[in-house]
Amino acid sequence: MKKMINKPDDVVEEMLEGIVAAHPEYVKRIDGYDVLVRAGGSQGKVALVSGGGSGHEPAHGGYVGKGMLDAAVAGAMFTSPTPDQVYEAIKACNGGKGVLLVIKNYTGDVMNFEMAAEMAEDEGIEVAKVIVNDDVAVENSTWTTGRRGIAGTIFVHKIAGACAESGGELNEVKTVAEKVIANVRTMGMAIAPCTVPAAGKPSFELGEDEVEIGMGIHGEPGTHREKIRTVAETTDTLLEKIFAEDLYHEGDEVAVIINGLGGTPLQELYLANLRVSEVLEEKGIQVAKTWVGNFMTSIDMAGYSVTLLKLDDELKKYLSAPADTPAFVQV
């Protein structure tokens, strides 16, 4: 393992301190907890709390700020944060109008966030939750624990965050978040695995000419492995899986995220996006806005995911609303 770290066990702690040192105008840390909240606090609005295992930066601390999250809870590397941590986050940013938890669909995340919600409800805080499950690589059936939450989560933060910022009530913010979840789908691929610092070795092995299609952001197995092809061909494969959902049709308008997994050059992401834009044009689907970059990473994994969100007037309004956070700025 070759990494620019000090000690493997200190990575999360030092990263949080580093984020606060870099962005004191945006975020501060709750003393004694792995929780980042808005530097100026969150008064008079519904609060959005998200989080999860570390290793997906800038998710989620990078999205704390005006128009997006009010608090982000960082777990150990790839490990869900514990209920006491999430509970502190809820308490810290509750402004009396209730708190919406944005949870990615993993067994551990769901249980820990639900326990925190119960603790907060016992204290009289109104808590609602949504569970993001945009990863079409996972068969959504009673035979699995359900689809994983991945890069589509950023659209939930953005749109629900804008709704909360504009004065939406808790049930409204929750409803619009659920609308995003119903209309967002993601599919990814990896050309190289990631290495968790404490584990010291790659999370899975890939042959020199092999890629994994549909792997998860913790290196969970995908739909299949294949010999590496061109980025255009691979992007077609990812899009086919997304279009198989029968959600996006001619005449629709979408927003797009081409998400790097941490170890992918930006130029390759733009190549992927070129193909996505060509395919969408062929299909008569209009692109309202595209984001290309590292939004939901998997430490140093190389690869990318494609996210499509089908828009209507309401989603479009909130998507284009201003946001000002360390990792997502929109004027």
Partner 1 sequence: MATKIYQCIQKIGEELIANKEFLTDLDAAIGDADHGINMARGFTEVLQQISQEEEDISVVLKKTGMVLLSKVGGASGPLYGTAYMKAAGAVAGKKEITLENAKEMMEAVIGGIKMRGKAEKGEKTMLDALEPAFEALKDGIEAGESVEDCLMHMCDAAREGVEYTKTIRATKGRASYLGDRSIGHQDPGATSSLITLEAIRTFYLENLK
Catalytic residues: 56, 218
**CB of residue 85 vs partner 1: minimum separation in angstroms?**
8
Tell me how far apart the alpha carbons of residues 326 and 208 are, in angstroms, rounded to a whole number.
36
Q: Does 303 bind partner 1 (CB under 8 A)?
A: no
Q: Does 1 bind partner 1 (CB under 8 A)?
A: no
Stretch that binds partner 1, among 83-91, 160-168, 181-189, 237-245 (CB under 8 A): 83-91
Out of 27, 93, 120, 138, the only residue in the binding site for partner 1 (CB under 8 A) is 138
Q: Does 171 bind partner 1 (CB under 8 A)?
A: no
**CB of residue 168 vs partner 1: minimum separation in angstroms?**
29
Give DSSP secondary structure letters for 237-275. HHHHHHHTTS---TT-EEEEEEEE-BSS-HHHHHHHHHH
**CB of residue 22 vs partner 1: minimum separation in angstroms?**
26
**CB of residue 134 vs partner 1: minimum separation in angstroms?**
15
Q: Does 108 bind partner 1 (CB under 8 A)?
A: yes
Q: Could you count the other beta carbons within 10 Å of the beta carbon of residue 43?
A: 11
Tell me how far apart the alpha carbons of residues 35 and 153 are, in angstroms, rounded to a whole number.
18
Stretch that binds partner 1, among 144-152, 165-173, 242-250, 304-312 (CB under 8 A): 144-152
**CB of residue 144 vs partner 1: minimum separation in angstroms?**
4
Q: With CB under 8 A as the rule, give the number of residues binding partner 1.
A: 32
Residue closest to 271 by CA, chosen among 222, 233, 327: 233
Q: Does 80 bind partner 1 (CB under 8 A)?
A: yes
Out of 51, 55, 65, 83, the only residue in the binding site for partner 1 (CB under 8 A) is 83
* The one-letter amino acid at 25: E
Q: Does 76 bind partner 1 (CB under 8 A)?
A: yes
Q: Does 153 bind partner 1 (CB under 8 A)?
A: no
Tell me how far apart the alpha carbons of residues 272 and 165 are, in angstroms, rounded to a whole number.
33
Residue 12 neighbours by CB under 8 Å, 6+ apart: 34, 54, 74, 75, 76, 77
Give start and end residues of each alpha helix (H) in the chain: 11-22, 83-93, 107-122, 153-165, 170-183, 231-243, 266-282, 313-319
Looking at residues 193 to 232 of the shown chain, list those that interact with partner 1 (rule: CB under 8 A). 198-199, 203, 216, 218-221
* CA-to-CA separations, 198 to 81, 109, 288, in angstroms, rounded: 17, 20, 41
Q: Does 82 bind partner 1 (CB under 8 A)?
A: yes
Out of 6, 43, 107, 140, the only residue in the binding site for partner 1 (CB under 8 A) is 107
Q: Which two tokens stand for residue 88?
A: 């502190």
Interface residue list for partner 1 (CB under 8 A): 75-76, 78-85, 106-108, 111-112, 114-115, 138-139, 142-145, 148, 198-199, 203, 216, 218-221
